[in-house]
């Protein structure tokens, strides 16, 4: 797999740790932290969020689908987010929903500014703030204010500490998708000079163990190599279409996330399954590309 990402991306860190857990070899193509992203926009059709996975002419948008592909390739089904249920799923959803935004807004502004200056420099920090200020526009997500954010973070740490007091991992006796999903907003919080709460010994132990998985065998590649991988491949065979309503294969559509970063990708609907939407994009450079999106949390709008 080629991973289009940047090193400070928390969602990319979730995927990189999955590569480490599965001892995977993977190809890294670093992207800008904000659009435009010339290394991947021609492949994805301008999908706003990061990371993006690539297997030849198949492009995977959203880290949940990338995790699903890693689970399939490594024969580790417990890494598929769809395998998580019950209280574990509720904790995972808290971490990747309100907890993700609270990981940032719970912190003092000076810590955030210091982190951005350290990561991107003065001009880059300005660009980052300018870009992220519009990220929620038009979507259903809202960033909590500082007081609420601190309550959300405390709740996340309390629930996680309680869960880890009876099991070594979030999902029980062995790592699952939930561990990586809960880890990455905490990684973001700590990367911005946040702290673990006093007495969170189980969280501290668990956090260290997840980090020790590392990132697997990473090799940097160029944009030309990623483009050649797409150009020289054919998309893999399509799954059966789910005829549960909505647009049918062959229709011109736009697909976009509903929560944030709601920039649509246009193409021809190729298939819809229980868990994903696949859009075909015809390009001069790559011929046919199949761009994959999760079904949950994404909208399909007919253009014809």
Query: Could you tell me the CATH number of the domain that includes residue 291?
Result: 3.40.30.110
How many Å apart are CA 247 and CA 54, to the nearest integer?
Answer: 25
Q: Same structural domain for residues 175 and 262?
A: no
Q: Same structural domain for residues 182 and 263?
A: no
How many Å apart are CA 186 and CA 220, to the nearest integer?
Answer: 26
Which burial class, exposed, middle or buried, applies to 279 when counting CB atoms under 10 A from its CB (0-12, 13-18, 19+)? buried
Contact 3, 27 (CB under 8 A): yes
The residue range of the domain holding 247 is: 2-77+218-302
Q: Same structural domain for residues 206 and 269?
A: no
pTM of this prediction exceeds 0.85: yes
Q: Same structural domain for residues 206 and 222?
A: no
DSSP bridge partners of 27: 2, 219
* pLDDT of 245: 62
Give the CATH number, domain containing residue 119: 1.20.1050.10
* Per-residue confidence in pLDDT tens, the chain, 304 aa: 999 999 999 999 999 999 999 999 999 999 999 999 999 999 999 999 999 999 999 999 999 999 999 999 999 999 999 999 999 999 999 999 999 999 999 998 888 888 889 888 998 888 888 888 888 888 888 889 999 999 999 999 999 999 999 999 999 999 999 999 999 999 999 999 999 999 999 999 999 999 999 999 999 999 999 999 999 999 999 999 987 667 899 999 999 999 988 999 999 999 999 999 999 999 999 999 999 999 999 999 999 7
Q: Same structural domain for residues 207 and 264?
A: no
Which residue, 167, 190, 211, sits at the end of a domain? 211
Which residue, 211, 243, 259, sits at the end of a domain? 211
Which burial class, exposed, middle or buried, applies to 163 when counting CB atoms under 10 A from its CB (0-12, 13-18, 19+)? buried
Which position has the token pair 């979507």?
139
How many Å apart are CA 28 and CA 10, to the nearest integer?
Answer: 15
Please state the three-class secondary structure of the chain as a single string.
Answer: CEEEECCCCHHHHHHHHHHHHCCCEEEEEECCCCCCCCCCHHHHCCCCCCCEEEECCEEEECHHHHHHHHHHHHCCHHHCHHHCCHHHHHHHHHHHCHHHHHHHHCCCHHHHHHHHHHHHHHHHHHHHHHHHCCCCCCCCCCCCCHHHHHHHHHHHHHHHHHHHCCCCECCECCCCHHHHHHHHHHHHHHHCCCCCCCCCHHHHHHHHHHHCCCCCEEEECCHHHHHHHHHCCCCCCCCCCCCCCCCCCCCEEEEEECCCCCCCEEEEEEEECCCEEEEEEEECCCEEEEEEEECCCEEEEECC
Q: Same structural domain for residues 165 and 239?
A: no
Q: Same structural domain for residues 72 and 89?
A: no
Q: Same structural domain for residues 179 and 248?
A: no
Q: Same structural domain for residues 92 and 70?
A: no
* pLDDT of 142: 85
Total residue length of the chain? 304
Q: Same structural domain for residues 204 and 101?
A: yes
Count structural domains, the chain: 2
* pLDDT of 216: 98
């Amino acid at each position: 797999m080629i991973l289009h990402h940047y090193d400070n991306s928390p969602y990319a860190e979730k995927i990189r740790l999955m590569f480490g857990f599965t001892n995977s070899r993977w190809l890294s193509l670093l992207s800008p932290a904000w659009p435009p992203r010339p290394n991947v926009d021609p492949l994805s059709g301008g999908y706003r969020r990061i990371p993006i996975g690539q297997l030849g002419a198949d492009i995977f948008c959203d880290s949940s689908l990338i995790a699903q592909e890693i689970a399939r390739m490594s024969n580790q089904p417990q890494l598929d987010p769809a395998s998580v249920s019950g209280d574990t799923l509720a904790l995972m959803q808290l971490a990747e929903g309100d907890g993700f935004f609270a990981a940032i807004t719970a912190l003092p502004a000076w810590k955030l500014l210091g982190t951005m200056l350290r990561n991107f420099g003065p001009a880059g920090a300005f660009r980052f703030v300018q870009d992220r200020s519009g990220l929620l526009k038009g979507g259903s997500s809202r960033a909590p204010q500082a007081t609420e954010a601190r309550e959300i973070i405390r709740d996340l740490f309390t629930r996680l500490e309680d869960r880890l007091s009876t099991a070594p991992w979030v999902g029980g006796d062995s790592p699952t998708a939930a561990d990586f999903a809960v880890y990455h907003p905490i990684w973001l919080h700590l990367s911005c000079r946040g702290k673990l709460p006093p007495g969170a010994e189980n969280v501290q132990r668990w956090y260290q163990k997840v980090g020790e998985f590392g990132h697997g065998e990473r090799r940097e590649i160029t944009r030309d190599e990623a483009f050649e991988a797409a150009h020289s491949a054919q998309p893999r065979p399509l799954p059966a279409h789910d005829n549960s309503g909505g647009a049918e294969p062959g229709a011109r559509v736009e697909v976009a996330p509903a929560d944030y970063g709601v920039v649509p990708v246009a193409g021809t609907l190729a298939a819809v399954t229980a868990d994903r939407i696949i859009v075909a994009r015809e390009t001069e450079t790559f011929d046919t590309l199949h761009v994959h999106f999760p079904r949950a949390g994404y909208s399909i709008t007919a253009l014809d």
